[in-house]
Structure 1
Amino acid sequence: MKANYVKDAKIFKALCDVKRLHILELLQSGEKCACVLIEEMNMGQSSISYHMKVLCESGLVIGRQEGKWTHYRLNKEGREYAVKRLLELTTSTAENNIKCCK
């Protein structure tokens, strides 16, 4: 299996959850502390940690530690890679529509 598929699967896993999509929307306005996300999402710390782990592993979000809290922000490079791969995976490369059965 190509390494790209493993990385791609992490991206699409991150995007296939309603709560993670909401978190991405919250991060659009700028960096947020985990404590803010906990409050905004009305979730416990362990739930937020899980979702942020998935988002960070996908490359769509970057976290930085400050004291006991982690601050999260959207990752431009991760977004650009995700958009590029989505286009690559969903763009037909067929010259013509050849039928397999005659």
Structure 2
Amino acid sequence: MDYENYAKVAKALADPKRVKIVDMLSCGAMCACDILEHFDFTQPTLSHHINLLVKAGLVTTEKSGTWHYYDLNKNAFEKFKADTAELTADTPACICEPVRSKAVCAIEKRADQVTQK
């Protein structure tokens, strides 16, 4: 797992306004003017939020004339969901396995010492 990229995506989703934008785009591509109608902030603020989502790879942009259309990068969301599942799963391939093995060995060693007394 790429922890840096995962954190970048999580950070992009850490704002309720950006989560709302993602929710809106889940219905299909939208132009900035249509997105802006649902918020009480300026176009530059919308651009800031969209830019963070684009940099995180969650949203794609396409220019048509003077309009910009935004859409979800569904592959990025699938990757994020899969990485989240991997991150929260207790599997044999877990990053904590070496730490867990040491802890289990220490517990077993203490149990053996108590048994021997």
Bucket of the pairwise TM-score, normalised by the shorter protein: 0.7 to 0.9
Q: Distance in 2 between matches of 1:9 and 1:66?
A: 32
Q: Once the two structures are superposed, what CA deviation does each residue of 1:53-90 show, in whole Å capped at 9, x if it has no partner? A: 11112222111112232110111111111111111111
Aligned match of 2:8: 10
Aligned match of 2:75: 77
Contact (CA 8 Å) 1:33, 1:71: kept in 2 or not?
Answer: yes
The Cα RMSD (Å) is: 2.2
Please, which runs of 5 or more residues in structure 1 have no aligned partner?
none
Percent of counterpart pairs with the same letter? 35
Aligned length: 100
> TM-score w.r.t. structure 2 length?
0.74
Contact (CA 8 Å) 1:10, 1:54: kept in 2 or not?
Answer: no
Q: Distance in 2 between matches of 1:42 and 1:68?
A: 23
Partner residue of 2:51 out of 50, 53, 63: 53
Larger C-alpha radius of gyration, 1 or 2? 2
User: Runs of 4+ in structure 1 displaced over 3 angstroms?
Assistant: 94-102
Q: Distance in 1 between matches of 2:32 and 2:80?
A: 24
Q: Secondary structure at the match of 2:28?
A: coil
Q: Secondary structure at the match of 2:38?
A: helix
State the AA in 2 paired with 1:71: Y
Aligned match of 1:44: 42
Q: Distance in 2 between matches of 1:57 and 1:86?
A: 19
